[in-house]
Amino acid sequence: MMNNLLCTTPRLLIRQLTQDDHPQLSAILADPEVMKHSLRGVCDAAMTQTFLDWCLRCYATYGFGPWALVDQASGALVGFCGISPELVGEQLETNLGYRLARNFWGKGLATEAVEAVLTLAFETLQRDSVVVIIEPDHPASRRVAEKAGFCEPQRMVFHQRQIDLYRMEHRMYLATAKPAGGAIKQP
Protein backbone atom coordinates (compact mmCIF):
# COMPACT_ATOMS: atom_id res chain seq x y z
CA MET A 1 0.00 0.00 0.00
CA MET A 2 2.97 2.33 0.45
CA ASN A 3 3.76 2.29 -3.28
CA ASN A 4 1.06 4.95 -3.73
CA LEU A 5 2.50 7.24 -1.04
CA LEU A 6 2.80 10.80 -2.29
CA CYS A 7 4.27 12.56 0.74
CA THR A 8 4.27 12.76 4.49
CA THR A 9 3.70 15.60 6.92
CA PRO A 10 4.64 15.50 10.60
CA ARG A 11 1.38 13.66 11.41
CA LEU A 12 -0.04 12.40 8.11
CA LEU A 13 0.70 10.04 5.25
CA ILE A 14 -0.81 11.32 1.99
CA ARG A 15 -1.42 8.61 -0.57
CA GLN A 16 -3.84 7.53 -3.25
CA LEU A 17 -7.12 6.10 -2.05
CA THR A 18 -7.61 2.38 -2.68
CA GLN A 19 -10.57 -0.01 -2.60
CA ASP A 20 -9.35 -1.09 0.85
CA ASP A 21 -10.29 2.38 2.15
CA HIS A 22 -13.99 1.87 1.38
CA PRO A 23 -15.15 0.84 4.91
CA GLN A 24 -13.42 3.73 6.71
CA LEU A 25 -14.30 6.21 3.96
CA SER A 26 -17.94 5.08 4.06
CA ALA A 27 -18.09 5.80 7.78
CA ILE A 28 -16.67 9.30 7.24
CA LEU A 29 -18.98 10.15 4.33
CA ALA A 30 -22.05 8.79 6.16
CA ASP A 31 -21.63 11.30 9.01
CA PRO A 32 -24.21 14.11 8.59
CA GLU A 33 -21.93 16.65 10.32
CA VAL A 34 -19.00 15.83 8.03
CA MET A 35 -21.23 16.06 4.95
CA LYS A 36 -23.25 19.11 6.02
CA HIS A 37 -21.62 21.34 3.37
CA SER A 38 -21.25 18.73 0.63
CA LEU A 39 -23.15 19.04 -2.64
CA ARG A 40 -23.75 15.28 -2.49
CA GLY A 41 -24.98 15.24 1.08
CA VAL A 42 -24.62 12.13 3.22
CA CYS A 43 -23.29 9.15 1.27
CA ASP A 44 -24.31 5.54 1.69
CA ALA A 45 -21.94 2.68 0.85
CA ALA A 46 -22.90 2.71 -2.85
CA MET A 47 -22.39 6.47 -3.18
CA THR A 48 -19.03 6.12 -1.41
CA GLN A 49 -18.07 3.43 -3.93
CA THR A 50 -19.05 5.77 -6.79
CA PHE A 51 -16.87 8.51 -5.26
CA LEU A 52 -13.97 6.09 -4.77
CA ASP A 53 -14.26 4.86 -8.38
CA TRP A 54 -14.22 8.49 -9.57
CA CYS A 55 -11.06 9.14 -7.51
CA LEU A 56 -9.33 6.15 -9.11
CA ARG A 57 -10.35 7.38 -12.59
CA CYS A 58 -8.95 10.83 -11.74
CA TYR A 59 -5.58 9.28 -10.83
CA ALA A 60 -5.50 7.33 -14.09
CA THR A 61 -6.67 10.23 -16.27
CA TYR A 62 -5.08 13.30 -14.65
CA GLY A 63 -2.42 11.96 -12.31
CA PHE A 64 -4.17 13.49 -9.31
CA GLY A 65 -7.43 13.43 -7.38
CA PRO A 66 -8.65 13.37 -3.80
CA TRP A 67 -5.92 11.61 -1.79
CA ALA A 68 -6.19 9.61 1.43
CA LEU A 69 -5.01 11.20 4.66
CA VAL A 70 -3.74 8.57 7.08
CA ASP A 71 -2.82 9.24 10.70
CA GLN A 72 0.82 8.16 11.09
CA ALA A 73 0.36 7.25 14.75
CA SER A 74 -2.69 4.98 14.43
CA GLY A 75 -2.92 4.13 10.72
CA ALA A 76 -6.54 5.35 10.71
CA LEU A 77 -8.00 7.03 7.67
CA VAL A 78 -8.41 10.68 8.69
CA GLY A 79 -10.24 11.67 5.51
CA PHE A 80 -9.14 12.99 2.15
CA CYS A 81 -7.54 16.06 0.66
CA GLY A 82 -6.54 16.59 -2.92
CA ILE A 83 -7.13 18.35 -6.18
CA SER A 84 -9.49 17.35 -8.93
CA PRO A 85 -10.91 18.81 -12.15
CA GLU A 86 -14.07 20.85 -11.60
CA LEU A 87 -16.14 22.76 -14.15
CA VAL A 88 -16.88 26.16 -12.62
CA GLY A 89 -19.03 28.19 -14.99
CA GLU A 90 -17.41 27.62 -18.36
CA GLN A 91 -13.90 27.10 -16.95
CA LEU A 92 -12.28 23.77 -16.05
CA GLU A 93 -10.51 24.45 -12.75
CA THR A 94 -8.17 22.55 -10.46
CA ASN A 95 -10.32 22.34 -7.33
CA LEU A 96 -8.93 21.68 -3.87
CA GLY A 97 -11.20 19.58 -1.69
CA TYR A 98 -10.84 18.22 1.81
CA ARG A 99 -13.01 16.34 4.25
CA LEU A 100 -11.96 14.91 7.62
CA ALA A 101 -13.62 12.50 10.05
CA ARG A 102 -15.18 14.41 12.92
CA ASN A 103 -12.87 12.93 15.56
CA PHE A 104 -9.92 14.58 13.75
CA TRP A 105 -11.43 18.08 13.66
CA GLY A 106 -9.81 20.96 15.53
CA LYS A 107 -6.28 19.53 15.50
CA GLY A 108 -4.81 21.48 12.57
CA LEU A 109 -4.71 18.37 10.35
CA ALA A 110 -6.77 19.95 7.55
CA THR A 111 -4.36 22.89 7.34
CA GLU A 112 -1.37 20.53 7.43
CA ALA A 113 -2.89 18.45 4.62
CA VAL A 114 -3.89 21.47 2.50
CA GLU A 115 -0.40 22.96 2.69
CA ALA A 116 1.15 19.64 1.60
CA VAL A 117 -1.37 19.22 -1.23
CA LEU A 118 -0.71 22.76 -2.46
CA THR A 119 3.00 21.93 -2.54
CA LEU A 120 2.21 18.86 -4.66
CA ALA A 121 -0.16 20.86 -6.90
CA PHE A 122 2.20 23.74 -7.60
CA GLU A 123 5.68 22.24 -7.29
CA THR A 124 5.22 18.67 -8.49
CA LEU A 125 2.18 18.90 -10.78
CA GLN A 126 2.95 22.44 -12.00
CA ARG A 127 -0.66 23.67 -11.81
CA ASP A 128 -1.13 27.34 -12.78
CA SER A 129 -3.88 27.92 -10.24
CA VAL A 130 -5.97 26.09 -7.66
CA VAL A 131 -9.45 27.04 -6.49
CA VAL A 132 -11.39 26.08 -3.41
CA ILE A 133 -15.20 26.25 -3.25
CA ILE A 134 -16.61 27.04 0.20
CA GLU A 135 -20.12 27.84 1.35
CA PRO A 136 -20.26 31.21 3.13
CA ASP A 137 -21.62 29.64 6.32
CA HIS A 138 -18.71 27.20 6.73
CA PRO A 139 -16.24 29.13 8.92
CA ALA A 140 -13.96 26.17 9.72
CA SER A 141 -13.31 25.48 6.05
CA ARG A 142 -12.78 29.20 5.38
CA ARG A 143 -10.15 29.33 8.15
CA VAL A 144 -8.29 26.36 6.67
CA ALA A 145 -8.23 27.97 3.21
CA GLU A 146 -7.18 31.36 4.55
CA LYS A 147 -4.40 29.87 6.73
CA ALA A 148 -3.07 28.23 3.57
CA GLY A 149 -2.94 31.61 1.79
CA PHE A 150 -6.25 31.78 -0.10
CA CYS A 151 -7.83 35.22 0.12
CA GLU A 152 -10.40 37.55 -1.46
CA PRO A 153 -13.07 35.06 -2.51
CA GLN A 154 -15.49 35.73 -5.34
CA ARG A 155 -19.16 35.20 -4.37
CA MET A 156 -21.04 33.20 -6.99
CA VAL A 157 -23.66 30.53 -7.54
CA PHE A 158 -22.43 26.96 -8.06
CA HIS A 159 -24.90 24.07 -8.48
CA GLN A 160 -27.71 26.38 -7.34
CA ARG A 161 -25.87 27.21 -4.11
CA GLN A 162 -24.24 30.42 -2.98
CA ILE A 163 -20.50 29.82 -2.61
CA ASP A 164 -17.24 31.68 -2.22
CA LEU A 165 -14.66 30.77 -4.84
CA TYR A 166 -11.12 31.29 -3.59
CA ARG A 167 -8.25 31.20 -6.10
CA MET A 168 -4.53 30.83 -5.60
CA GLU A 169 -2.27 31.31 -8.58
CA HIS A 170 1.21 29.85 -8.74
CA ARG A 171 2.82 33.25 -8.15
CA MET A 172 0.64 33.77 -5.05
CA TYR A 173 1.67 30.35 -3.78
CA LEU A 174 5.34 31.22 -4.19
CA ALA A 175 4.83 34.44 -2.21
CA THR A 176 3.02 32.71 0.68
CA ALA A 177 4.38 29.14 0.59
CA LYS A 178 5.14 27.55 3.91
CA PRO A 179 7.24 24.41 4.15
CA ALA A 180 4.00 22.37 3.78
CA GLY A 181 3.89 21.29 7.38
CA GLY A 182 7.19 19.51 6.85
CA ALA A 183 5.98 17.57 3.81
CA ILE A 184 8.60 15.16 2.53
CA LYS A 185 8.14 13.97 -1.03
CA GLN A 186 8.63 10.28 -1.55
CA PRO A 187 10.33 8.93 -4.68
Q: Is residue 187 part of a domain?
A: no
Q: 181 and 81 in contact (C-beta within 8 Å)?
A: no
Number of separate domains in the chain: 1
pLDDT higher than 50, residue 105: yes
Would residue 186 count as lying in a domain?
Answer: no
φ/ψ bin of 126: left (φ > 0), alpha (ψ from -120 to 50), beta (otherwise)? left
Let me know if residue 112 belongs to a domain: yes
- CATH number of the domain to which 166 belongs: 3.40.630.30
163 lies in which domain range?
2-181
73-96 residue pLDDT tens: 999 999 999 999 999 989 999 999
Is the CB of residue 185 less than 8 Å from the CB of residue 159?
no
Is 27 part of any domain? yes
In percent, the amount of the chain with pLDDT more than 90 equals: 82
Helix (H) or strand (E) holding 144: helix 139-147
Residue 137, SS3 per DSSP: coil
The candidate with the shortest Cα–Cα distance to 177, out of 141, 109, 123, is: 123
Q: Tell me the average pLDDT across 166-172.
A: 94
